[in-house]
Amino acid sequence: MLKLSLILSFIFIQSLSAFSAIVGIVDSGVDYQHVMLESLMWQNPGEIPGNRRDDDNNKYRDDVYGWNVPGENGEVINYKYLDTFTDKPFRYLELQTKKIIGTITQAEETEMEALRADPDFIKEMGIFGNFAHGTHVSGIVSQFLNTSELMAVKLLPTEPGELQGLLRWVYNESMKVQEIYAGKDYAGVKKSVIKEKKMKVRDTLMRKAFDMLAELQTGMLESAFSYVGTQEVRVVNGSFGTSYHAIKKITDLVYLVLFQKKPNDEQSLKTASIFFKMQLNKLSSVLNKYPNTLFVFAAGNDGSNNDIYPASPANVNLPNVITVGATIDYVKLAKFSNFGEKLVDLAAPGVGIVSSVPTGTHSDVIQMSGTSMAAPFVTGVAARIVEENPELTSEQVKEILIGTIDSKENLNGKLKHAGIVNDRRAIVAARLSQNVSVENAIARAQSSTSDKVPQIEVIEKDEENEQLLGSEFNLIDLSPEEEKELEKSVREMVDNLKKKE
């Protein structure tokens, strides 16, 4: 009896002194006043707000709830956008869920199409998406936490202006190449030799340009992660990325300027892959600096295979990185979700997820869909695992997440581990790991905890030909107008180059 009561009191004390992990939300900003989040926000204890001073000497002025990377200040959300939105984004996202699970009516379908065709709505939705994204993600993480805290790191998309600068650089360099080879020194040299030399220089220029683009993005992420690195952050959620389809627009334009013709599909993929290889190498060396932090990344919302069409940071392949696809509840992979047997680790629910929306001191919620919503599910569970057993390494936390999934046959060949994260089983395994090996804890949790029962019935429709996009947070996000503008200036550059040829 004595022994038992000792064990009980030991467990009791342990749960009282539960470890508090810090979770970094690297995203579009967090409404730290939201009722769901307010009490969970990390607050820098040594920082006095609003005095324009770095009171705790961590090199960041007024960083109370976290850091705004592009703004270089402590404003982790731009509250000026509050109350500037109509009800339309709420309605649209509601219709989107119905569409994905197949319960949408004909009238609702028509309503959705009308919204999509309205340029004002598309504009509003874009701004709303960026404004609300990080708060929604935070709410999803928060539901799993007991004692952990949320740190907000605000990261914004690359400005189109920077891309203009990059393309201008490529053009100027290309002009130099033209002029060198147009010089009289080469009068006696064979045309084919000159052509070959030009191609080589262009290839070098392309690599240089992509290196600059990769550096631009990595620099931004490095700033975000190095802020997170100043604190003991155990888990970071990264529901953002650069997809193949987004980068292709830029890399194709670089190709067009240099080679003065549009690349075909094969050349496009080859060209974009050069960029991704550089970008992923750079990111790997950044993330390698924080082995005690688990980075959870969204797989992307293009419905494509990351093993073939790269995505970043999703495709960073390290022991302290986990990449997440999105499922409809505990049923199957959502059509919009990226997948990849080699590079997408597992999946989590990411359709029609109800969570906090910025309202400032209110408790409003909204539903959103995307791998952006699946990643924070995993982040929340990971933080909870750390709360249960702070001694676990990042690799062991990942091992528990993977080892306790609900296996699904319909995910075979789509994911590295064909299953959906089971929060209950993962938490049981984490608790058991205090006393037995991780491997043993996983095995015991498997036999004691059942699979989750799906709560949603998915209605299959064959007419699905469109790509349903989830809510995403793109690092390169050009509006259709900006895209046209960029393309136009590239065309002008190419015409100029051709004249000189």
Among 35, 48, 122, 127, the residue binding Ca ion under the rule CB under 5 A is: 48
Concatenated DSSP letters of 43-70: --TTPPTTSSS-TT-SS-TT-SSEEETT
Among 28, 32, 34, 60, the residue binding Ca ion under the rule CB under 5 A is: 60
- Between 75 and 341, name the residue whose CB sits nearer to Ca ion: 75
Please state the separation of Cα 458 from the chain's center in Å.
26
Cβ 152 to Ca ion shortest distance, Å: 14
Among 26, 29, 30, 62, the residue binding Ca ion under the rule CB under 5 A is: 62
The Cα–Cα gap between 400 and 397 comes to: 5
64 binds Ca ion (CB under 5 A): no
55 binds Ca ion (CB under 5 A): yes
By CB under 5 A, which span of 21-29, 41-49, 139-147, 255-263 interacts with Ca ion? Answer: 41-49
Among 14, 58, 146, 223, the residue binding Ca ion under the rule CB under 5 A is: 58
345 binds Ca ion (CB under 5 A): no
Element holding 31 (H helix, E strand): none
Per the rule left: phi > 0, alpha: psi between -120 and 50, beta: everything else, 166 is: alpha
Q: Which of 68, 78, 383, 372 is nearest to 223 (CA)?
A: 68
By CB under 5 A, which span of 40-48, 80-88, 252-260, 276-284 interacts with Ca ion? Answer: 40-48
- Between 47 and 399, name the residue whose CB sits nearer to Ca ion: 47
Count interface residues toward Ca ion (CB under 5 A).
11
Helix, strand, or coil (residue 234): strand
Residues 6+ apart with CB under 8 A from 333: 325, 326, 327, 339, 347, 410, 411, 414
Among 7, 11, 38, 53, the residue binding Ca ion under the rule CB under 5 A is: 53
The Cα–Cα gap between 76 and 495 comes to: 44
54 binds Ca ion (CB under 5 A): yes
222 binds Ca ion (CB under 5 A): no
Beta-sheet pairing, 406-407 with 419-420: antiparallel
56 binds Ca ion (CB under 5 A): yes
Residue 29 tokens read as 């900003």
Cβ 359 to Ca ion shortest distance, Å: 27
For helices 265-287 and 191-228, what crossing angle results, to 10°?
40
Residue 226: φ, ψ to 5°: -75, -25
- Between 55 and 252, name the residue whose CB sits nearer to Ca ion: 55
Q: Which of 268, 330, 276, 278 is nearest to 300 (CA)?
A: 276
223 binds Ca ion (CB under 5 A): no
Cβ 77 to Ca ion shortest distance, Å: 18
By CB under 5 A, which span of 50-58, 242-250, 275-283, 406-414 interacts with Ca ion? Answer: 50-58
- Between 46 and 360, name the residue whose CB sits nearer to Ca ion: 46
- Between 47 and 472, name the residue whose CB sits nearer to Ca ion: 47
By CB under 5 A, which span of 58-66, 169-177, 426-434, 483-491 interacts with Ca ion? Answer: 58-66
Q: Position of tokens 């959906």?
A: 420
Cβ 228 to Ca ion shortest distance, Å: 14
Residues lying near Ca ion in the complex (CB under 5 A): 47-48, 51, 53-56, 58, 60, 62-63
